[in-house]
Amino acid sequence: MTEAYTKPVPTLDDLNRPFWDGCRKGELRLQKCCSCGHVRYPIAAYCPECLSEEAEWTPLSGCGTVFSTIVFHQVYHPAFKNDVPYNVSLIQLDEGPRMFSNVVGVPPGSVKVGERVEVLFDAVTDELTLPRFRLAARP
Amino acid sequence: MALASEIRSLRNRVAIVGVGASPQGTVPGSTSLSLAVTAFKRALDDAGLKKHDIDGLLTMPGTTSPERSDNYLRLGETLGIDAKFTGSMTMGGSTAGALIQQAALAIDSGMATTVACVMGDAAKSGNFRFAMAGGWSDSWGIWGMFSAAANSAISASRHMALYGTTSRQLGEVAVACRRHASLNPDAVMRKPITIEDHQKSRLVVEPFRLLDCCLISDGGACIIVTSAERAKDLKQKPVMLTGFGQACSGRTLEREDWWYVPHQKEALERAYAMAGLGPRDVDLAQLYDNFTISVILWLEHAGFCKIGEGGSFVENGRIQLGGELPVNTAGGNLSESYMEGWLHIVEGVRQMRGECGPRQVPGARVCLVTGRGMKLNTANALLLTAA
């Protein structure tokens, strides 16, 4: 049996549940404004462009580019003490939004700004699947 | 641009007439309240004012102030001040400058005569680690993205990738601040360091090493503001608020250039416009240095060099005393004490008075002071001039 998962988890509510349900199903999806078409992140009740409340969840390609990338050596949260050094990257998704995640599968300090990445889904508990990224296969 | 001309009319109408700081660093037995009170008393003495002269009280709750945004009430009660104009503000490292600007507006409009801006924080003794994560319901901490350091590391990593900025150039900022702190008897970290010391310091959040990061300190600071007219009769040579400006990126991930903290440039442009001054007029600068990269970004935003050239600008002692633009002459957040930028203003005032002894910039008439805070969201700039 696995140990209890003690890292931060999303505070689930009606607003963000479709995102996390999507991750469990292997789909990266974000809100697209029904009024102006803006695809937004972070998940929000209002479109930050036009303030419309109407949005639909749209599936994304899961492809993006490393916008910036850093490596944690300091342990800021005790649950990450066995993970350091680990990578955190700001991912520029092809559909426009940017999100924080981890680029995994390569040494954490080897990730470069501008590299192409693709999403993978990491089921960290039965209930929670995290979107992370790996270097994209060359076309 | 009616608004711009109205703000321009505030040029040199309000002055800083008193500054005070408590002991800094590790202050045994201190609390955020005791540190604030010590700073307040010292600023009153500095200004030659009595408590009853203060009719405005603006405060920043320290990270260890249990009353949080009710801090103005706690301080008002403790200091025995029934203020005509009061409140607390939490804009991180931009708070000090923002409160002074708020005080200036209140004084100029007649809502208050003399305003004390006060903070105290026992962050060191209280072991506050600045480990907060952004992201609201979907915390960035889900992916291990914690701390103030990490937000600025994101800035630094992209700046390095786009412009070739190096870790050694970041180190130049740390070396300059430390050299200046070595000349400041009140600074916490006074032993000079070299670029090699910077390069050998442990990794915290790459690209940052330990010596890229500000201190965590106990301390308090107070800055007293009044009208230029009233300032003429007071003890100290007044230091004029010649220009000021603010800006904020409320949007974070939604703004593509968020990493570059673009609102800093907007705040600076507003301050320059109000003052009728530009970068060539600035004799020295106190640039908010929560991390070394911040100084490099400020230098670009303030027009001392072009975008992407901040890394080479800080080389060859250019930002050290005796250089082209001395920066953080008391040691800054990196080496003097981490008072979230409050001491940057205190130092700017002392430089404009010409009372800084071995670290005084000779003949300095114009000092730029900047602040930035939260998750690369808030920014402000002050242009202080000698009366």
- DSSP assignment of B152-176 equals HHHHHHHHHHHH---HHHHHHHHHH
For range A22-31, the mean pLDDT = 98
Task: Tell me the nearest-neighbour CA distance from B206 into chain A, angstroms.
Answer: 5
- pLDDT value, residue B9: 85
For range A56-84, the mean pLDDT = 98
Q: Residue A101: closest CA among chain B residues belongs to which residue?
A: B143
CB contact under 8 A, B203 and A71: yes
- pLDDT value, residue B213: 98
Chain A residue numbers with beta carbons less than 8 Å from the beta carbon of B202 are: 73
> Does A80 contact B at CB distance below 8 Å?
yes
Q: Is the pTM of this model over 0.95?
A: yes
For range B370-383, the mean pLDDT = 97
CB contact under 8 A, A70 and B259: no
Q: Residue A39: closest CA among chain B residues belongs to which residue?
A: B254
Does B3 score more than 60 pLDDT? Answer: no
Domain B2-127+215-386, CATH among 3.30.930.10, 3.30.1490.190, 3.40.47.10, 3.40.50.620: 3.40.47.10
Parallel/antiparallel/unpaired status of strands B56-60 and B114-122: parallel
Does B220 score more than 60 pLDDT? Answer: yes
Q: Which of residues 20-39 of A touch B (CB under 8 A)?
A: none
> Does A15 contact B at CB distance below 8 Å?
yes
Instruction: Count Cβ–Cβ pairs < 8 Å, chain A vs chain B.
Output: 110
Task: Decide if A57 is inside a domain.
Answer: yes
Task: Tell me the nearest-neighbour CA distance from B155 into chain A, angstroms.
Answer: 8
Query: pLDDT of B119-156, one tens digit each?
Result: 999 999 999 989 999 998 999 999 999 999 999 999 99
Task: Decide if A53 is inside a domain.
Answer: yes
- pLDDT value, residue B6: 63
Q: Rounded to the nearest 10 degrees, how much is the dihedral formed by the CA atoms of B332, B334, B339, B342?
A: 20
For range B210-214, the mean pLDDT = 98
CB contact under 8 A, B204 and A74: yes
For range B51-55, the mean pLDDT = 98
In percent, the amount of chain B with pLDDT more than 70 equals 98
Does B5 score more than 90 pLDDT? Answer: no
Query: pLDDT of B235-265, one tens digit each?
Result: 999 999 999 999 999 999 999 999 999 999 9
For range B24-40, the mean pLDDT = 97
Tell me the average pLDDT of chain A: 96
Domain boundaries, chain B: 2-127+215-386
Query: pLDDT of A95-129, one tens digit each?
Result: 999 999 999 999 999 999 999 999 999 999 999 99
**Residues of B tagged active-site:** 288, 338
Structure-token pair, residue B231: 């300032």
Contact of A97 with A30, CB cutoff 8 Å: yes
CB contact under 8 A, A7 and B142: yes
In order, the DSSP letters of B76-113 are HHHHT---SEEEE---GGGHHHHHHHHHHHHHHHTS-S
- By Cβ distance, the residue of B138, B153, B203 closest to A42 is B138
> Does B202 contact A at CB distance below 8 Å?
yes
Task: Decide if A61 is inside a domain.
Answer: yes
Chain B residue numbers with beta carbons less than 8 Å from the beta carbon of A112 are: 161
Query: pLDDT of B7-20, one tens digit each?
Result: 778 999 999 999 99
Chain B residue numbers with beta carbons less than 8 Å from the beta carbon of A90 are: 154, 253, 259
Chain B residue numbers with beta carbons less than 8 Å from the beta carbon of A48 are: 251, 254
Tell me how far apart the 2 most distant CA atoms of chain B are, in Å. 57
Interface predicted TM-score (ipTM) of this complex, two decimals: 0.98
- pLDDT value, residue B371: 98
Query: pLDDT of B285-315, one tens digit each?
Result: 999 999 999 999 999 999 999 999 999 999 9
> Does A73 contact B at CB distance below 8 Å?
yes
Residue among B250, B249, B218 at smallest CA distance from B119: B218
> Does B161 contact A at CB distance below 8 Å?
yes
Contact of B169 with B156, CB cutoff 8 Å: no
Parallel/antiparallel/unpaired status of strands B218-227 and B14-21: antiparallel
> Domain containing A129: what range?
17-135
Task: Decide if A10 is inside a domain.
Answer: no
Q: Residue A12: closest CA among chain B residues belongs to which residue?
A: B137
Confidence of residue A3 (pLDDT cuts 50, 70, 90): confident
> Does B207 contact A at CB distance below 8 Å?
yes
Residue among B12, B11, B221, B265 at smallest CA distance from B96: B221
- pLDDT value, residue B1: 44
In percent, the amount of chain B with pLDDT more than 90 equals 96
Contacts of B110 (CB under 8 A, 6+ apart): none
For range B354-378, the mean pLDDT = 97
Number of structural domains chain A divides into? 1
Chain A residue numbers with beta carbons less than 8 Å from the beta carbon of B205 are: 70-74
Query: pLDDT of B154-196, one tens digit each?
Result: 999 999 999 999 999 999 999 999 999 999 999 999 999 999 9
Query: pLDDT of A47-69, one tens digit each?
Result: 999 999 999 999 999 999 999 99
Task: Decide if A110 is inside a domain.
Answer: yes
Task: Decide if A3 is inside a domain.
Answer: no
For range A76-84, the mean pLDDT = 97
Instruction: Suggest the residue from A16, A50, A100 to mutate for an interface test with chain B (most B CBs closer than 10 A).
Output: A100
Instruction: Suggest the residue from A16, A83, A88 to mutate for an interface test with chain B (most B CBs closer than 10 A).
Output: A88
